[in-house]
Amino acid sequence: MTDTVISTRPLLAVLVSFAAGMLILATGDRRPNLREGWTIAAALIKFGLVVSMIPTVLAGKVITCRLLTLLPGVELVFRVDAFGLLFGVIAATLWIPTSFYSIGYVRTLNEHAQSRYFFAFALCLSSAVGVAFAGNLLTLLICYEVLTIATWPLVIHHEDGAAIMGGRKYLVYTLTAGTGLLLATVVTYSLAGTLDFTPGGFLAGHAPDGLLMLLFVLFIAGFGVKAGIMPFHEWLPTAMVAPTPVSALLHAVAVVKAGVFGCVRVLLFVFGPNLLRELGIWQAMAGVAAFTVVAAGLLALGQDHLKRRLAFSTINNLALILLGVTLLSENAIRGGILHIANHAFMKITLFFCAGAIYAKTHKDHVSQLDGLGRQMPFTFAAFTIAAMGLSGIPPVNGFISKWFLCLGAVQAGELLFLFVILTSAMLDVAFFFPIIFNGFFREPRPDVAPRIDEAPLIMVIPLCATAAFSVLFGIMPDAVLHFFSITTHAVQQVLGG
Amino acid sequence: MKIMPLKMVAFAAVVLTGALLLYGVEDMPAWGDPQSPANTHVSPRYIENAIPDTATPNIVTAVLADYRGYDTLGETTVIFTAGIACLYILRRPRNQRRKERD
Amino acid sequence: MLEYVIAKYNYWVYVILMMIGLYAMMGKRNLVKKLIGMNIFQTSIILFYVSIGVKKGGATVPILEGHGHGGHQAVDVATILNPLPHVLMLTAIVVSIATTGVALAALILIYRRYGTLEEDEIIAARRAAAAPKAKDQAS
Amino acid sequence: MTAQLPALQIAIPLLGAFITPLIGWHRPRLAGLWALAVLAGAAALAVALLMQVTAHGPISYHLGNWAPPWGIAYAVDHLTVLMLLLITGIGLMAFLQARPAVAVSMPGREPYFYTLFLLQVTGLSGIVITGDMFNLFVFLEISSLSGYALIALGEDGAPLATFNYIIIGTVGACFYLLGVGYLYIVTGSLNMADLANLLPALYHSKVVLVAFAFFTVGVAIKMGLFPLHTWMPDAYTTAPAPASALIAPLMTKVAAYVMIRIMFTVFRPEFDIGVIPVATILGWMAVIAILVGGIKALAQTDLKRMLTYIMVAEVGYIVMGISVMNRPGLTGAILHIMNDACMVACLFLVIGALAHKGIPRTISELGSLNRKMPFTMAAFVVAALSMCGLPPACGFFSKWYLVQGTVAAGQWVFAGTLLVSSLINAVLFFRVIEKAYLAPGGGHGHDDQQHDDGHGTANVVRDEAPAAMLAPILIMAALILVLGPFSGTIIDAVISHAVPAAF
């Protein structure tokens, strides 16, 4: 059906950041410039490797790299299809600005244990790309668990009481979820004898409906914890104790998206749209997602801590993605998958802004930001762009994905969920615009500098870049990284296969 | 107070073990039955062939030192182990001995 | 019932001996008594094995008298006791002695350290030694 | 030469042990090097034997050229070589660390320690290599006696723990011997392969049932299966660190091997399932062992004692894998024997390094240990993550097979127990990791002043264990990471042949 290209590029893309992590540890705190050099070199190489796979995948081919046989019939295999590539490209692309931004951030704040920080960061990226390129459930599970563990040192980075508690909560949620996933994967393997992702699913006809539903719940709960689906969302706001670049890349892009990615893989590549329709379970799933969308939006309104507010916005958007995919209509799936990319660019901008504000002024509450826009206009401009995008205002990229989500809801004939998506957009406006308003139009507080006094350039440039890309992708969705084409390919694979 | 239950548990366990062993005895061949499997399966060969195989009139010696000589090597090793173990445990290093004398 | 017991009384004897030994090992608080129990226990098993080798009907010790001088004739198996259990038990006896030796060495070590071989007293002494240490750590 | 490999596998460490004290009386240092060479030779032999068996299939070696069942035979199959490799390999690693440690902690006794160490390896190797039931008992006693002695000279409380271990260990060995006797009475044979042929006709004999019961109890004592584990925490906790790094990973695993041998070689699966519900009983005992081990471990403040209780749970894992009586379950059990031996060895070697540096084992006093001993702690983390069943460490894969086995058997409670237990392990180990890696007291956050390098703990100086002690730790940690992804290969090449064809 699809041509397969054998190549080690997926493996190299995974390993390059792992190798960088080892080099970072070996270099240590004594030579920080060399150490950061490794990070940036790895980020660039990884980006090159991942992007080099785009033309192949757009030509309708699948890039495969088989390594070891783990179980009879199950290999450790990296297999790059359109959907996986999308996530891989996002993670690899956003690692570059985050690397620069991180360096600025930790040096400005003079953070401790920087080697550990960069090591864990590189390891996270390795495993996130591993999740993206995993060719079967077991490989996915392995990378996913590595990601879980690699994130922990970042969450507890500050080593104070709040960080340790946040870390514990994070571990309790994610490790329990991982255990559930293990059970679900084992049962799937016992039933089907295979774990290879197949567009359109492979599980149909292997078990009675009741068992399949149970399996579905286990899978969605397992991946849903990282995706922040309610009621499993609680760890995410708590984990905001982590340094901001961590929140930016991991809690907006890599880790939580790995959860969403896993959910989508299970929905579309393990169960498959047809089986989900037969079981009728998609409605329950969509209901949970819709509830999360609205509830997270409402909860975000009540947060004064900027990063916590962003965290709830993340929960809201992740649920939106899942809602789109669960609606199972062509446009809804396209909107959901596209939103993975679009949300990543917008949310990382927002976190970058929050971090820049904190690094410069040590302010992290919404109510403290009065008039700060005059001191940090670039930061606030970027923030505004990203916030507009998340609210679905053109010409930012968020508009495109929300548009398709709405179309998809109509296509599926689910007007209730259309209403949910629109409500969510309004909630976005409601919790973002006070921040912008405070920043630009409120009377400045006495401690705000009257002149432009931004965070270091190494932090401002990345955040402006990601904001600019958000706009670019809003105007030309297929520019540079071909997100739109890749998404179309993924949708065709799932629905056509 | 505390000793009573321990003794009760010990007694119960012992009775249980004994009962189990006697339960097995029921299916055993009668004592001294020359036709029991133990007396007919492996051992006749020792008795019949001890002389031609080993030229040793004492069959026990023949088995001990030849047919199952490897067990005897193990047996010797057990003794050696016990000897080394006692040396290891009970030997007091010279300086410690001196200290105790003072 | 009685007949049944008599027909296999060797087994009954060994089981009873073994129960005595096992009870001493589990129920006694004096370490030497435990050790003695262990010896009784092991001896009972040795008796059990040796009794397996018995053949009724005139069988004798497994030494072939008059067979040792070159030429040999066929041996009637029924006249000779089963030698294998004897061999096994020679090894088991040695094992039992070795174990006893190591156990006695351990007992000497215990006596040197605590000056007693009553388990309760040793535990009490250890607890008393541990208590002030814990208090030090707490303060 | 290659035909004599099985004999050499035992002869080399055995003769090495005989010679060690002779050398040691004159030159204690030389005795250490000698023992090291002997162990390295034994490990090399195990590798050679592994290659031979994987290439040409199982070997039956007749000692003294007496054909079984009259003589004693070695039965060297895939499971055997795996265990031999494990025993000699971990023995070698433990010895690498023990040599410098013993020189410091027990001067004047080193040659005896080395001798007993070699005897322990000999005994364990003999247990796994032999194909004769009684011969197994003899080697069991060699390993037990040397084990008692090695444990006896530990910290306060060790002699009493040793004595109790001697008593209960002797009960275990004697129960095993009784089982052998009962089988001998009804079959007249001591050879495992011969027994396997004779027994099916007798499966319903009460004698055989009782024999099986006594085998199981005897072996369960040796492997520390709940509720017969009571000797284990005391004995292993109080044992001197160099000794526990050898005995703790291996003794329980070898006993588990004996259990597998008896259940699947001497007896057939039909007996284990059909005649008496031993599988079910063992399975539920394993459930209790896993839960009780985990809960007791939670209650410990002493790191080493915590590990021993975790071992109680890990034994439960293995027994559970055996008890479900299917291919994935038994594969998982054998894989876990290997993986758990490596993990426990790594953890106890870490304990050894801590002991050598005089660091107290109380968990609450481990603060900032990662700064003091970064490599040791990194290895600890690897082993700990493996214990929690997190990929890509090897613990994940054995857990996978075990869960698969329980699911295939429809034993959802068992599967749930395994999963809950890995969460308990996560709590246990992250408690330690948190303590060791995070700044004591915490609360430093963002005070800009003292961040230059030390982050408030600048006074902690790196004080890593000497390279000779660190090397085995790091090797074991690397092995834990490597064995995981390669478990598929290992199962294909070795373990799949060890599972009865009936599964």
User: Would you say residue D364 has pLDDT above 90?
Assistant: no
Strands A61-71 and A3-6: parallel
Greatest CA separation found in chain A? 68
Domain contains C106:
yes
Which pLDDT does position A348 carry in this prediction? 92
Read off the pTM. Answer: 0.92
User: Would you say residue C55 has pLDDT above 50?
Assistant: yes
Which pLDDT does position B4 carry in this prediction? 64
* Residue A433 buriedness (CB in 10 A; 0-12 / 13-18 / 19+): middle
Domain contains C116:
yes
Cross-chain Cβ contact C94/B78 below 8 Å:
yes
Which pLDDT does position D348 carry in this prediction? 95
Asked if A64 contacts A8 with a C-beta cutoff of 8 angstroms, the reply is: no
Nearest CA in chain B to D65: B67
Pick from A63, A135, A127: nearest CA to A95: A127
Cross-chain Cβ contact C52/D163 below 8 Å:
no
Distance of residue A396 Cα from the nearest chain D Cα, in angstroms: 36
Interval A121-130: pLDDT, tens: 899 999 999 9
Chain B residues lying within 8 Å of D210, measured CB to CB: 20-21, 23-24
Could you tell me which residue, A30 or B4, shows the higher pLDDT? Answer: A30
Strands A61-71 and A74-80: antiparallel
Report yes or no: B80 at the D interface, CB cutoff 8 Å: yes
User: Would you say residue D172 has pLDDT above 60?
Assistant: yes
DSSP designation for A2: -
CB-nearest partner of C108 from B11, B30, B90: B90
User: Would you say residue D448 has pLDDT above 90?
Assistant: no
Nearest CA in chain B to C41: B14
Interval D23-78: pLDDT, tens: 988 888 899 999 999 999 999 999 999 999 999 889 899 988 888 888 899 999 99
Average pLDDT, chain A: 89
Mean pLDDT of A74-90: 91
Cross-chain Cβ contact C19/B22 below 8 Å:
no
Which pLDDT does position D216 carry in this prediction? 92
Using CB atoms, which chains have 3+ pairs under 8 A with C? B, D
Q: What are the φ/ψ torsions at residue A68 (nearest 5 degrees)?
A: -130, 155
User: Would you say residue D419 has pLDDT above 90?
Assistant: yes
Interval D303-343: pLDDT, tens: 999 999 999 999 999 999 999 989 999 999 999 999 999 99
pLDDT band at D442 (very low <50, low <70, confident <90, very high): very low
Which of A347-351, B93-97, D128-132, D216-220 bottoms out in mean pLDDT, i.e. has the lowest?
B93-97
User: Could you give the number of structural domains in chain C?
Assistant: 1
Mean pLDDT of D395-402: 92
State the complex-level ipTM.
0.90
pLDDT exceeding 90 applies to what percent of chain A? 40
Which pLDDT does position C67 carry in this prediction? 55
Q: Bridge-partner residues for D61, per DSSP?
A: D74
* Residue B22 buriedness (CB in 10 A; 0-12 / 13-18 / 19+): middle
Cross-chain Cβ contact A71/D400 below 8 Å:
yes
User: Would you say residue B90 has pLDDT above 70?
Assistant: yes
User: Would you say residue D441 has pLDDT above 50?
Assistant: no
Chain A residues lying within 8 Å of D391, measured CB to CB: 141-142, 145-146
Which pLDDT does position A280 carry in this prediction? 85
Mean pLDDT of D124-132: 94
Distance of residue C101 Cα from the nearest chain D Cα, in angstroms: 10
CA distances from A256 to A261, A340, D305, D401, D418 (A): 8, 10, 38, 29, 27
Which pLDDT does position D443 carry in this prediction? 40
Mean pLDDT of A299-328: 90
Mean pLDDT of A265-279: 89
Interval B5-51: pLDDT, tens: 778 888 888 999 998 888 888 888 888 888 888 888 888 888 888 88
Average pLDDT, chain D: 89
Report yes or no: C73 at the B interface, CB cutoff 8 Å: no
Interval A141-178: pLDDT, tens: 999 999 999 999 988 888 888 888 889 999 999 999 99
Distance CA D150, CA D144 (A): 10
Which pLDDT does position B95 carry in this prediction? 58
Cross-chain Cβ contact D160/C85 below 8 Å:
no
Mean pLDDT of D422-447: 75
Mean pLDDT of D424-439: 88
CB-nearest partner of B25 from C8, C26, C95: C8
pLDDT band at B101 (very low <50, low <70, confident <90, very high): low
Binding-face residues of D in 141-200 toward B, CB within 8 A: 141-142, 145-146, 148-149, 152-153, 178, 182, 184-190, 198
pLDDT exceeding 90 applies to what percent of chain D? 63
Which pLDDT does position D453 carry in this prediction? 42
Q: Tell me, what CATH number does C16's domain have?
A: 1.10.287.3510
Could you tell me which residue, D401 or B53, shows the higher pLDDT? Answer: D401
pLDDT band at C66 (very low <50, low <70, confident <90, very high): low
Q: How far is CA A203 from the centre of its chain?
A: 26
Asked if A124 contacts A378 with a C-beta cutoff of 8 angstroms, the reply is: no
Distance CA D441, CA D446 (A): 15
Q: What residue numbers bound the domain in which C3 lies?
A: 1-54+90-120
- Most confidently modeled range among A67-81, A154-168, B40-54, C86-100: C86-100
Following DSSP, what letter does each residue of D287-301 receive, concatenated? HHHHHHHHHHHHT--
- Give the B:C interface size as CB pairs under 8 Å: 153
Look at the block and give the residue holding tokens 């700064």: D371
Domain contains C85:
no
User: Would you say residue C93 has pLDDT above 80?
Assistant: yes
Which pLDDT does position B98 carry in this prediction? 61
Which pLDDT does position B23 carry in this prediction? 87
Taking CB atoms within 8 Å and a gap of at least 24, the contacts of C109-112 are C109/B89, C109/B90, C109/D152, C109/D153, C109/D159, C109/D162, C110/C31, C110/D159, C110/D160, C110/D163
Chain C residues lying within 8 Å of D159, measured CB to CB: 106, 109-110, 113
User: Would you say residue A431 has pLDDT above 90?
Assistant: no
Tokens of C117: 């071989």
Q: List the domain boundaries for chain A.
A: 280-497
Tokens of D107: 């001067």
Could you tell me which residue, B53 or D351, shows the higher pLDDT? Answer: D351
Chain D residues lying within 8 Å of C35, measured CB to CB: 167
Q: Alpha-carbon torsion A465, A466, A471, A475, what sign?
A: positive
